Amino acid sequence: MSAERSPSMVSALLARPGAVSASGPDAGVASHYGDPVAEQRALAAGRAVVDQSHLGVVTVTGPDRLSWLDSLCTQSVRMLAPHESAELMILSPQGRIEHVAGLVDDGRTAWLITETAPALAQFLDRMRFMLRVDVADATDAWAVLGEPIARPPVDGEPITWVDPWPGVTPGGTTYSPEPLGGDVRPWRLVVVGRGQLDEEIDARLDSGWMLAGSWAAEAERIRAHRPRFATEVDAVALPHEYDWLRTAVHLHKGCYRGQETVAKVHNVGRPPRRLTLLHLDGSAHVLPSIGAPVTVLGSDAVAGHVTSVARDKDEGPMALALIRRSIDPSATLLVPSDGGELSATQEPIVDPSGFSADRPPKPGPTMKGLLMGRGCDTDGGDLPD
């Protein structure tokens, strides 16, 4: 992982009847409450709530907060309207993903929901210089819950971030075959006082909703081809490899750290790897482990690795995997598990061509070296291999 994740906070909801603790990146909340299939069905039907209180919350206050964040991140947020949602990344100087956050501003405070709150807050605090901003890791005070709703909050509702996936936000582009496969997943994250989490959950249960665990939420996320920092991102991750230029990158906003690599890969390069959905053989009733190597049938060479796994209510076992871009999308893949080797077919997320939907024309001889990002003196990095 390319950045420190937020430490797990044990949710009070784990004391609820039937709660089974999750592990790995979802440690601290429930994997399910006794019936994960029913929970996923309720979530898909828009009548379930998910405890996401293991996520971190970073706040930024001060009159310069949005223009300052704009100068640091991949997204254009300088003119973000109150209660408008955005997704952003902080990249390394070489264009590798270091942080991912959902951003919503209430007119006084910028709220960043992230899986790397301590490290993100520390990075932002180091970058304040003389600007009028204050940064705080507010995870101890605020908790997050997830809802299958795509609308922003109405007056009187708490701070809410609406997931823009799978839309292509202004300034973004897509590397997916058109139209995007997977399901469109309405999803928003609601920020509530940590002490009010039980009360907020109960209000939703009283309206006829169901309490769902991370098992159901992850199955819905994977079906939607939605990448996640804690599972998909490693130390050399590029946004292009996940089709994350859809929602988290603005290609025309100006200079930011890592911009040169983003521009080079988009304009004249190709991402070395691609995210793909794997439909796994379900006859053995087992799942592979996260990190399991992926090979092509008939070859011993490792083609990539599994990043996320789920047992879906309809499709059965499925996974996300990060594999070499050059792997034939029609090839049968093999993944080891405790029950033996599982075969898998691919549902491509990032097009194996490595070209985005608005790839610029190939530059002529006089244009070599004159790439977008020229004149940006805050970052460097060569075109990735």
Two tokens at 88? 């952003």
> Are the C-beta atoms of residues 328 and 314 closer than 8 Å to each other?
no
Is 317 part of a structural domain of the chain? yes
Question: Could you give the maximum distance between any two Cα atoms of the chain, in Å?
Answer: 68
Q: Which range of residues forms the domain containing residue 222?
A: 12-232
My answer on whether 97 and 156 are in the same domain is yes
- Find the CATH number of the domain harbouring 296: 2.40.30.110
pLDDT at 4 over 80: no
What per-residue confidence (pLDDT) applies to 376?
Answer: 46
My answer on whether 178 and 291 are in the same domain is no
My answer on whether 52 and 141 are in the same domain is yes
My answer on whether 71 and 181 are in the same domain is yes
My answer on whether 115 and 201 are in the same domain is yes
Segment 52-82, tens digit of pLDDT: 999 999 999 999 999 999 999 999 999 999 9
Q: Which of 74-88, 141-155, 174-188 has the lowest mean pLDDT?
A: 174-188
My answer on whether 207 and 288 are in the same domain is no
Domains held by the chain: number: 2
Q: What is the mean pLDDT of residues 177-183?
A: 64
Segment 287-340, tens digit of pLDDT: 999 999 999 999 989 999 999 999 999 999 999 999 999 999 999 999 999 988
Is 167 part of a structural domain of the chain? yes
Burial readout 149-178 (b: 16 or more C-beta within 10 A, e: otherwise):
beeebeeeeebbbbbbbbebbeebbbbbbe
My answer on whether 22 and 147 are in the same domain is yes
Is 94 part of a structural domain of the chain? yes
- Find the CATH number of the domain harbouring 180: 3.30.1360.120
My answer on whether 203 and 325 are in the same domain is no
Cα 325-165-263 angle, rounded to 5 deg: 50
My answer on whether 166 and 69 are in the same domain is yes
Three state DSSP letters for 274-306: EEEEEEECCCCCCCCCCCCEEEECCCCCEEEEE
Domain boundary among 201, 232, 263: 232
